[in-house]
Amino acid sequence: MSRTLQLPCHNEAVWPIITNALCNKQWTPTNLIKAIDEIRTATYKNVKEMPTDKRFSGLLKFLGEPCHATGNPNQFWGEYNFNNQFIDSYIGGWFLGHTVPYIVNLILELQDTFPEEIPLLSYNPDVAEQSLSLSKKQAASLLACSFFCSFASQCAFKLGLNFDGIYFSLNKSIKNNQNTAKLCMIMNYFERCRTGQCHQDEPIIIKRLYGMKYLNKNNWCFSEAKLSNFTVNETGSINDAGAEALHVDFANKWIGGGVLRRGAVQEEIMFSIAPELLTTIIVCDVMGDREAIVISGAECFNLHTGYSRSFQFMGNCVGSPECRVAIDATRFTGIQRKQYTDDYILRELNKAYVGFNHGYPTAGAAVATGNWGCGAFGGHIQLKSMLQWMSASECGRPVIYYTFGDENCQGMADVTKLLLEKEVTVYQLANAIFDFCNQIEPRDKPEKDLYIHLKDSFYD
């Protein structure tokens, strides 16, 4: 029998504490922090930490001094007035006076918003597809619970469903803190929802896919599929591909990665600018090697700039709902040569194949991707780009590849153009890659030599 999510309203011992902390409040920074702390203390087990005033000192500084909400609400989310990632008293007052009561009501209305239990999407190799549909209000309600830290420590698969990790990180510094940007984005998301400035009729659909068909080495080395079109973009990002493409989330096996902590790389940025994606953290457990998670209907609410510690909120974004797929690459840090062995190549090929082998957002839609599993995970761009191309081609999808300006992508446009001109098939590329891997010597630098090998293999 599948597990279901325990909402705060299902916990008879804690629900009265939550409602008492939220009702009849004149919201000031101090009152908000007090309510979050009361709820968090009631829902967590064995909370032994610093006093409340120090625990949330960064959040208190972030929100500023108590003030009254006046003026035009559009200034909050449209012509915003953020100064070096600090919110001024005007915006803090508007958020406390208007947005926070909206968040509170989302929690108090949980029982009406969720008349039925929410199934958790867990690992199940006997089922090819598990699905969950959430309305916009249901998604906002789940994130409201995270905002007030009202998910109990064992309500789903793991700890870390609440936003307290974001709040605590503000204690060291607000300026130049990537979580300051995340909190601005969460505030902007809730205000947009409150004012109805989102695609209200578009549900958030989460699909957990399991690859019932495993493609072994012979399947790849005898595939007759032709390589699909491959476009290299040296500027821009996956988010620029539009609603027509399938956007690849370079996922952690625990979807969302470090977005609720200090993480701010590709996956965490994607989840911050489109906060509805955070619902997957609540309902999905760790992915297996033959699984992928597809999320459709989540829209981008926030503009950003920067990466990691330079990540900043840059204002409001109005766009169409998009379809994204979360696939987790193998971590090769310290064991980078292992990615050239058959087992690991097949693992990555099948992971990408599961992620691309479906009809979302439409059959044959382009895959918008980039340096999946590279960077901190130690994957090599030349190999990873070709593996993704093979999997996409096997699924009949073209590839739009964003290099993010990485110098290791040098030569990609030339080699993909050559392979397309020669009408190379998946099996020809697979055999060339396996042949290359079998020839690697201890002193070779395979991360820089694969494209050279492919040019030598297919150039007349």
The predicted-structure confidence for 5-18, as pLDDT tens digits, reads as follows 999 999 999 999 99
Alpha-carbon distance 17 to 40, whole Å? 10
Q: How confident is the model at residue 3 (pLDDT cuts 50, 70, 90)?
A: confident
Please tell me what DSSP assigns to residue 153.
T
Render the burial of 268-293: b for 16+ CB within 10 Å, e for the rest: bbbbbbbbbbbbbbbbbbebbebbbb
Residue 384 corresponds to which tokens in the numbers above?
């990873």
What is the helix (H) or strand (E) element at residue 416, kind and residue range?
helix 412-421
pLDDT at 87: 52
Write the Ramachandran bin of 315: left for phi over 0, alpha for psi from -120 to 50, otherwise beta: left
| Percent of the chain clearing pLDDT 90 (strictly above) | 68
**Which of 124-128, 308-312, 317-321 ranks highest by mean pLDDT?**
124-128
Average pLDDT over residues 187-191: 92
pLDDT averaged over every residue in the chain: 89
Q: Output the CA–CA distances (angstroms, integers) from residue 28 to 76, 148, 364, in the order listed.
A: 17, 15, 51
Q: Which of 80-84, 108-112, 164-168 has the lowest mean pLDDT?
A: 80-84
pLDDT at 422: 96
Average pLDDT over residues 152-168: 77
Average pLDDT over residues 23-27: 85
Residue 286 corresponds to which tokens in the numbers above?
């760790």
pLDDT at 133: 98
Establish how many alpha carbons lie within 13 A of residue 455's alpha carbon, considering only the half-sphere containing its beta carbon: 12
What is the helix (H) or strand (E) element at residue 272, kind and residue range?
helix 266-273
Residue 196 corresponds to which tokens in the numbers above?
């109805």
Phi, psi of 212, rounded to the nearest 5 degrees? -65, -25
More confident residue, 439 or 82: 439
Q: Is 93 helix (H, G, I), strand (E, B) or coil?
A: helix
Q: Which of 148-162, 382-396, 437-451 has the lowest mean pLDDT?
A: 148-162
CA 402 to chain centre: 17
Q: Output the CA–CA distances (angstroms, integers) from residue 236 to 233, 240, 242, 369, 402, in the order listed.
A: 7, 6, 12, 11, 7
Contact 293, 326 (CB under 8 A): yes
Alpha-carbon distance 254 to 257, whole Å? 6
Does the structure show a pLDDT above 70 at 425? yes
CB atoms within 10 A of CB 236: 13
Alpha-carbon distance 347 to 329, whole Å? 9
Q: Which of 41-50, 225-234, 277-286 has the lowest mean pLDDT?
A: 41-50
Alpha-carbon distance 85 to 96, whole Å? 18
Average pLDDT over residues 17-24: 93
Which amino acid is it at 304? Answer: H
What stretches of 129-177 show up as alpha helix (H) in DSSP? 136-147, 164-169
